[in-house]
A and B are shown apart, each in its own frame.
Chain A
Amino acid sequence: EAGVAQSPRYKIIEKRQSVAFWCNPISGHATLYWYQQILGQGPKLLIQFQNNGVVDDSQLPKDRFSAERLKGVDSTLKIQPAKLEDSAVYLCASSLYPGAKGQGNSPLHFGNGTRLTVT
């Protein structure tokens, strides 16, 4: 099966500019996640979608970050305006619905990420 697809692979922007990242999950995966990974740290969840509804966005800086998952498949994460501290790798992941019977052990499958540098 095809894995999680993300684009672009790299992006360099100046502070106060805007940027968008795209993610296409594994076919059939109802749950989609966006994580931020700052260099040398573990990934931190930004937002979790179940189909096209938001399940958890408690750590999303909503004054500058937004995300959508139209039609419950592809997703876009946007930053506007970007700050220097947003420099990180943005990882998209998908999984089967963990609340379904027998799926509690369903791992997250990650894309290769987008490395964002804000100058």
Chain B
Amino acid sequence: AQKITQTQPGMFVQEKEAVTLDCTYDTSDPSYGLFWYKQPSSGEMIFLIYQGSYDQQNATEGRYSLNFQKARKSANLVISASQLGDSAMYFCAMREGNTGKLIFGQGTTLQVKP
């Protein structure tokens, strides 16, 4: 069964606007963590933001914020004030308990238009 689902293969956003990238997950473990990574065309995986299952508030890191809706099992990434350099592939990932490994979704390609 797919544990992490990203239903948007590709997204476009106008420069300086905000964009939301969707992610839903499935787990029966009450302790888990959700991560978002950015992968530019150069290929490196860049860690963006983390949300723990017990965190009371939504995570924020600069222009990145995570819209965490636990009951819906969704962890959407919001990028505010998009920049041309935000054009990349974005992956949502989950860690169950303290296993260490991350399970990744299929990714969403974001293109920022000038």
State the A residues within 8 Å of B (CB): 31, 33, 40-45, 48, 50, 55-56, 89, 91, 93, 95, 97-99, 104-105, 107-113, 115
Contacts and interface: CB of A to CB of B under 8 A. Distances in A.
A91 B99 contact: no
B43 A104 contact: no
Interface of B: 4, 31, 33, 35, 37, 42-45, 47, 50, 52, 91, 93, 95, 98-107
A48 B50 contact: no
Contacts, number: 65
A42 B25 CA distance: 14
A111 B46 CA distance: 10
A42 B99 contact: no
A43 B45 contact: yes
A115 B103 CA distance: 21
Contacts of A55: 99-101
Contacts of A110: 37, 44-45
3 nearest A-B pairs in the assembled complex, by CB-CB distance: A42-B104, A110-B45, A99-B98
Contact of A112 (B33, B44, B105): B44
B44 A42 contact: no
